[in-house]
Amino acid sequence: MSKLKLAVLAGGSSIEREVSFRSAENILKNLDSEKYDIHTIELPKDKRDTAWVSQLMALHPDFVLSALHGGRGENGAVQGLLQCLDIPYSGSGILSCALCMNKQAAKSIMEGAHIPVIDGEFIPLEADLNAFEQKLDRLEYPLIAKPNRGGSSIGIEVANDFDALKKAVENIRKQYDDDAVIEKYIDGKEVTCAVVQTDEGLKIMSVLDINKSKGIYDYDAKYLSTQSAVSFTTLPDYMKTMIEDIAVKAFNVLHCKGYGCVDMLVKDEQIYVIEINTLPGMTDHSLIPAAAAQSGMNLSEFLDILIKQRIK
């Protein structure tokens, strides 16, 4: 039997380009070359350079494993291209990627489905910031400001007053050309629930505690620190069950597929969903390999499941 032709997509033009290379490296290390004919396609930094599309069309792999994070790789655009080319791929489809990469859109849908999210305000790119002062005061500081379409905690700041918040939003506008999502800062325990679709249905891989050394789980802790940022949750079983139920509900309501990580904050027994990552990191430092290990799988077995689910 001929081997399945796989293409791993890596790089891209988003600010998470370097993280993508590290995810790809780890994926390549864990794919079985006895089973798969493996190719890597690098998406360039320059969005206008489309040579990779020709490369992909010429190769026409049986399956694409995406190691892309952020930007077009995670917002549904690359998924749309793959769909046009009739190439099956790992993870969520166009709709859920687009929704989950837009924090405000995902929050609105979750709210509508009675999934607990954090109170906040949406500040469009062109809006007059001063018009929001009173509304933000009512939310009560500290507040957190995030780029609506950001990732990897880049551009996120905690503000203790309106002046600091204005600076954070101006920075989001200037650096990332993005709308801002403002939320109450929840000084709670952070957890992530990793899920994967298997033949038996949606399976919870693990609920992991995020061990933040600072106020937020920032870029350094996610990718640079040598200390393990995650451990099996110490929350009591009844909380863990609630977290798992909320994760499944959020995954389904946002039409996610394949796998994903549902990030949450827990304070005073109240659980809030922060976001769903449709293409979570796969670096040797990331949550997915840790969650897979918790559920008794190594990364190779996890990747096999992703491929098998789509190629039957």
CB-CB contact of 104 with 47 (8 Å): no
Q: Which of 28, 59, 81, 118 binds ligand ADP (CB under 6 A)?
A: 118
Residues in region 18-77 near ligand ADP by CB under 6 A: none
What b/e readout covers 32-49, taking b as 16+ CB neighbours within 10 angstroms?
A: eeeebebebbbbeeeeee
**If binding is defined by CB under 6 A, does position 156 make contact with ligand ADP?**
yes
Region of 9-17, 122-130, 178-186, 230-238 interacting with ligand ADP (CB under 6 A): 178-186
Distances (CA, A) of 251 to 21, 68, 108: 26, 20, 14
Residue 87 near ligand ADP by CB under 6 A: no
Q: Which is nearer to ligand ADP, 211 or 300 (CB)?
A: 211
Is residue 300 part of the contact set for ligand ADP (CB under 6 A)? no
- Told to check if 260 binds ligand ADP by CB under 6 A, we report no
Binding part of the chain for ligand ADP, among 132-140, 211-219, 237-245, 253-261 by CB under 6 A, reads: 211-219
What is the CB neighbour count within 10 angstroms for residue 312?
6
Residue 178 touches ligand ADP, criterion: CB under 6 A: no
Say whether residue 180 binds ligand ADP (CB under 6 A): no
**Residues 115 and 275 sit within 8 Å (Cβ to Cβ):** no
Position of tokens 């549902």? 262
Residues near 245 by beta carbon (within 8 Å), at least 6 away in sequence: none
Stretch that binds ligand ADP, among 1-9, 11-19, 185-193, 199-207 (CB under 6 A): 185-193
Per CB under 6 A, 246 contacts ligand ADP: no
The rounded distance, in Å, linking the Cα atoms of 261 and 256 is 10
Sorted by sequence, the CB contacts under 8 Å of residue 252 that are 6+ apart come out as: 202
Q: Which positions lie near ligand ADP, rule CB under 6 A?
A: 118, 144, 146, 150-153, 156, 183-186, 190, 212, 216-217, 263, 265, 274-275
